[in-house]
Chain A
Amino acid sequence: MVLAIVVGLAGAGTVLDAWSLLHRVTRDEYLATNPASATLRVDSVDASLLDSARAIPSVRDVEARRTVLAGVRVQGAWDTGLLYASNDLGNRRIGVLAPQEGQWPPADGAFVIERSSVTFAGAAVGDSVLVRIGKGAEVRLPVTGIVRDQGLAPGWMDHVVYGFVTPATLAKLGAPSSLNELRITVRDRSLDRAAIRRVANDVRALAVRLGHEVPSVDVPVPGRHVHAAQMDSLLMIMGAFGVLALCMSGFLVVNLVTAMLTGQLREIGVMKALGARPGQLAALYLAFALALGVVASAIAIPLAAYAGRAYASFAATMLNFDVDGHAIPRFALVLQLLAGLLLPVLAAAVPVVRGSNVSVATLLRDTGIGGVTAPWIQRIRGTQRPLLFSLRNAFRRRWRTALTLVTLASGGAAFLGALDLRASIRDSVGSLFDNVLRFDMAVRLDSPHDADSIADVTSRVPGVEIAEEWGSVRATQAGAGEQGAPFAISVIPAHERLVTAPIARGRWMGDGDAAEIVVNTRMLEEQPELAVGTSVDLAIGGRISRWAVVGSVESAIPQPTAFVTRGALERVAGDARATTVLIRASNRDPDARYALAGRVRDALEAAGFAVGSSELSQVNRRAIEDHLLMVGAFLLAMAQLTIVVGALALGATMSLAVQERTREIGVLRAIGATPGAIVTMVQVEGLLIGVLSWLIAIPLSLPVSALLARAFGKIMLPVTPTLIPGRFAVAVWLAVVVIASLVACAWPALRATRIPTVSAIAYE
């Protein structure tokens, strides 16, 4: 019994520990890096600007940096690299970096890689990476160190190689060595986003007064990591699993303690006959239940701490955090201790009170055979008696059976939900690449170019079926002389065919050059002012223009995005050059697409367009699927844990049933039941409960699927839950539940055959 309570408590404790540890780490570690309150992009930062900004009373600190988009050669192909350069990397005070290995700060000409990019880049300390900026030369930089920046999204997940270099290294790569980002922290940490924006605008006004250009001001939500929403969703899912596991272990404990006390009714009767008062009996059994809780907690809490830490460590890696050096919050341990101590006592309270109030005669008269089944089960006839016996026995202790069913079905619902999520991920990724992102490759240029000039080149490359030139600009809502949060706008051709996001509301933009904008639903969540039907003033490239929001599209990706036509942007802003070419190949064979990517690159390079990177959709699709399915597998592992707890509950229930029916089993043996027949009866009873939980779990999985899909959509990729579990998932769950039932009932069944008939039917 202690073992069963331990597993239940440890299961719930693991999730609770992992949840609380992640919650603490993601909040504390991020704040400990002293993240920037605002980032201003300026033409160039000089000492005068830095000193003047520092002198503003509401500004606590100011630092300068430059972020450069680069191409980094990864496993034979050019991938996206982001290089961060500043003068004194070793003493960075804003967005503090944590050196992990090798040299820090980097020397001139050296490359220190961010930890989360190491695997993706396939480069460790002692290796080198080939880097290219724009049309600059390809330069091989030695990787001299590894550093961790918790403010960045994981590089392996975003397919970006993050590197830290000195301004001199930038110059070696052909990029300007001056710094162009002003990162500030505010003195009053309690300020909200609007107040910080006012401080940032003061800095902006100062820069303008000093003769600088300030194209954008970015004010993130204070204290919120760039992936805070994802973390919250992940934590919410984990929290939900934790509550589920705790409830399940609660049911398990209630079942166990109730049954234990029910089996001791005769002993209670004897003690009452000897003069024990109800209060004394209650104290005796409650103390026993408490002792059970103490022993179980002493084993379960350390076990949960170990497993929870390992689990949190794995989850934290996905978000570029580290749990090392952080203790599990005390409240989580206290909560487990309370649950471990109180659950058995609370579970014992009802049967103890009931047993204490039953008359001595009734307690002593107990012949060991009693209890009837539910009337509706009683009405089932027309089959072999041993099967009827198993069927009716399954519902003899209805409350206990109900708890077991709830426990097992909850695990099943979580399992089916996780399987459904996995299927939804595959479907959504498939749909994303087949129906929404209908291009085979994306070729990114190092700098913006005239779209028609690019089209002249790509249209002549053999094997190109469709080529579209896309651009990207950053915009902010303009109002009250201040700048809002910037967002990305995709600049697309008027007759765009390669990206077809479903319209959620309103319509797509017209073919002309009217100032019309379409936003995705994720953008609407972040900037509700951009509602369909409204007109907004946007600051794009330093010019303010009015745009009509004519429609919204379903978000195919979790990032907020908006779309305008090239014609409209050109008319309004005067510049609508393209930076990316999306291409659909006429031959869809994977090898042919790979070869085409090389031909397009070569043709563009030959025409003088420096190519930053090229991505094949098939590679992206596989990488995205792998990463997303890993999260699905992660959830599946949690669901499997709940099934283990459920199976344990079933095993405990059957074990107790066998214990309670010792005499019945003796009678069955006496009237000719062979050990095989007894095993079959016990196994069939367990199997009936298992199969029933299988049925209950199917409808129960619908809200679970919806919840998981919603949370997952926020974390990774919007997915549409299929809701109706697939045949495969249902069949797998049936197989799992059958195996779990057989395994869980194996020991009780074996025990039933070992009950000596002579002692089972003895009265004394």
Chain B
Amino acid sequence: MQSDILISLRGVDKSYAIHSGSFTALRGVTLDIARGEFIGVVGQSGSGKSTLLNLLSGIDRASAGEVFVDGVALHAMREREIARWRGRSVGIVFQFFQLLPTLTAIENVMLPMDLCARWRARDREDRARALLDRLGVADQAFKLPATLSGGQQQRVAIARALANEPAVLLADEPTGNLDSHNAANILELFAELAQQGQTIVAATHDAGVHRVCTRTVTIADGQITEQVASYA
């Protein structure tokens, strides 16, 4: 494996047991993603986009094949190890933001740092402030999520995902719950982060992703059907 390849999937299958037998969500997926790439994963609902992201984050395990992220063989790791690895190596952005409602914005950003202890306790608040500032929501730091707009919540959620300086940022429909203006802003933000060297994989229905990502990967019926470099 070359050193600039951050993510590598080799012949990955993912099947689920269902009442009527089994359902194959991904079939023979092979994909390499280099450091600093911003990959847009597109496809219809149920095509396997979210499953792909879950395999990359270690939230789900492949039924067959190999998954390497930043040199780590996820398919061979134990659940407990994966949780710790995920906290340090992967940042996740959800469609519905999923900020914890009883913690303020800055506390939400500091939470992954507390869980993984990658940063010294006395440095965590400064780092959280810096991240919120970088994402343009520093003035919302001490507000509860319920008092923020959708766009602001998603920015805080991205700040939280970046808290432990992860090797890869995974975003599942990050604009799915935002209006077009905020959606465009979030995609621009991802592009900026990618330009700063952050590897990003975003599963989305948003047609605008073509304009900002470095490569678009299309999935249909669990298979990669097309890969297009869309940004030089």
Residues of A in contact with B (beta carbons under 8 Å apart): 367, 369-373, 378, 384-386, 388-389, 392-393, 396, 663-664, 667-675, 677, 757-758, 761-763
B80 at the A interface (CB under 8 A): yes
Q: Bound complex: CA of A761 vs CA of B57, how far in Å?
A: 13
Which B residues are CB-close (under 8 A) to A763?
95-96
Contact flag A675-B98 (CB < 8 Å), given A385-B103, A386-B115, A670-B57: no
Closest Cβ–Cβ distance, residue A424 to chain B (whole Å): 44
Residue among A370, A393, A664, A670 facing the most chain B CB atoms (10 A cut-off)? A670
Which A residues are CB-close (under 8 A) to B95?
763
User: A673's closest neighbor in chain B, by CB?
Assistant: B115
Chain B interface, DSSP helix/strand/loop, else mixed: helix
Q: Are B84 and A672 in contact (CB under 8 A)?
A: yes
Closest Cβ–Cβ distance, residue A385 to chain B (whole Å): 4
User: A672's closest neighbor in chain B, by CB?
Assistant: B87
Q: Are A386 and B96 in contact (CB under 8 A)?
A: no
Q: Are B110 and A378 in contact (CB under 8 A)?
A: no
Q: Are A675 and B80 in contact (CB under 8 A)?
A: yes
B66 at the A interface (CB under 8 A): no
Cross-interface CB contact of A367 among B60, B80, B96, B102, cutoff 8 Å? B96
Q: Bound complex: CA of A642 vs CA of B130, how far in Å?
A: 52
Q: Bound complex: CA of A668 vs CA of B116, how far in Å?
A: 12
Which B residues are CB-close (under 8 A) to A388?
102-103, 107
User: B84's closest neighbor in chain A, by CB?
Assistant: A674
Q: Are B115 and A369 in contact (CB under 8 A)?
A: no
Q: Are A389 and B111 in contact (CB under 8 A)?
A: yes
16 extra A-B contacts, CB within 8 A, seeds A388-B103, A389-B103: A369-B98, A369-B99, A369-B100, A372-B146, A385-B107, A386-B111, A388-B102, A392-B102, A392-B103, A669-B59, A670-B57, A671-B86, A671-B87, A671-B161, A675-B80, A761-B59
Contact flag A672-B116 (CB < 8 Å), given A385-B111, A763-B95: yes
Q: Are A672 and B144 in contact (CB under 8 A)?
A: no
Q: Are A671 and B115 in contact (CB under 8 A)?
A: yes
Q: Are A385 and B114 in contact (CB under 8 A)?
A: yes
B92 at the A interface (CB under 8 A): yes
Q: Are A674 and B102 in contact (CB under 8 A)?
A: no
3 nearest CB pairs, A to B: A672-B87, A392-B102, A385-B111
Which A residues are CB-close (under 8 A) to B110?
385
Name B30-88 residues within 8 Å CB distance of A.
50, 54, 57, 59-60, 79-80, 83-84, 86-88
Residues of B in contact with A (beta carbons under 8 Å apart): 50, 54, 57, 59-60, 79-80, 83-84, 86-88, 92, 94-96, 98-103, 107, 110-112, 114-116, 121, 144, 146, 160-161, 164
Q: Are B102 and A393 in contact (CB under 8 A)?
A: yes
Q: Are A673 and B94 in contact (CB under 8 A)?
A: no
Contact flag A757-B59 (CB < 8 Å), given A385-B114, A672-B83, A675-B80: yes
Q: Bound complex: CA of A670 vs CA of B171, how far in Å?
A: 12
Contact flag A667-B59 (CB < 8 Å), given A384-B114, A385-B114: no
Q: Bound complex: CA of A758 vs CA of B115, how far in Å?
A: 19
Cross-interface CB contact of A378 among B59, B144, B161, cutoff 8 Å? B144
User: A661's closest neighbor in chain B, by CB?
Assistant: B100
27 contacts between A and B (CB under 8 A): A367-B98, A369-B98, A370-B101, A371-B101, A372-B101, A372-B146, A373-B102, A378-B102, A378-B144, A384-B121, A385-B110, A385-B111, A388-B102, A389-B100, A392-B103, A664-B98, A668-B100, A670-B59, A672-B86, A674-B83, A674-B115, A675-B79, A675-B80, A675-B83, A677-B115, A761-B59, A761-B94
Which B residues are CB-close (under 8 A) to A396?
102
Closest Cβ–Cβ distance, residue B81 to chain A (whole Å): 9
Which A residues are CB-close (under 8 A) to B86?
670-672
Q: Bound complex: CA of A378 vs CA of B79, how far in Å?
A: 33
Closest Cβ–Cβ distance, residue B115 to chain A (whole Å): 5
Q: Are B83 and A667 in contact (CB under 8 A)?
A: no
Which B residues are CB-close (under 8 A) to A669?
59, 83
Which A residues are CB-close (under 8 A) to B88?
672
Which B residues are CB-close (under 8 A) to A386?
111, 114-115
Contact flag A670-B111 (CB < 8 Å), given A370-B101, A373-B102, A392-B102: no
Which A residues are CB-close (under 8 A) to B99?
369
Closest Cβ–Cβ distance, residue A402 to chain B (whole Å): 17
Q: Are A372 and B144 in contact (CB under 8 A)?
A: yes
Which B residues are CB-close (under 8 A) to A371?
101-102
Q: Are A664 and B80 in contact (CB under 8 A)?
A: no
Closest Cβ–Cβ distance, residue A487 to chain B (whole Å): 67
Closest Cβ–Cβ distance, residue A331 to chain B (whole Å): 47
Which B residues are CB-close (under 8 A) to A758?
54, 59-60
User: B116's closest neighbor in chain A, by CB?
Assistant: A672
Q: Are B144 and A671 in contact (CB under 8 A)?
A: no
Q: Bound complex: CA of A674 vs CA of B88, how far in Å?
A: 12
Cross-interface CB contact of A672 among B50, B94, B101, B112, cutoff 8 Å? B112
Q: Are A667 and B80 in contact (CB under 8 A)?
A: no
Q: Bound complex: CA of A674 vs CA of B81, how far in Å?
A: 8
Closest Cβ–Cβ distance, residue A741 to chain B (whole Å): 20
Q: Bound complex: CA of A671 vs CA of B161, how far in Å?
A: 8
User: B16's closest neighbor in chain A, by CB?
Assistant: A758
Q: Bound complex: CA of A392 vs CA of B99, how far in Å?
A: 14
User: B121's closest neighbor in chain A, by CB?
Assistant: A384
Which B residues are CB-close (under 8 A) to A668?
100, 115
Q: Bound complex: CA of A385 vs CA of B128, how far in Å?
A: 13
Q: Bound complex: CA of A271 vs CA of B11, how far in Å?
A: 43
Q: Are A672 and B59 in contact (CB under 8 A)?
A: no
Which B residues are CB-close (under 8 A) to A675?
79-80, 83
Contact flag A673-B83 (CB < 8 Å), given A385-B103, A392-B103, A396-B102: yes
Q: Are B102 and A663 in contact (CB under 8 A)?
A: no
Which B residues are CB-close (under 8 A) to A663?
98
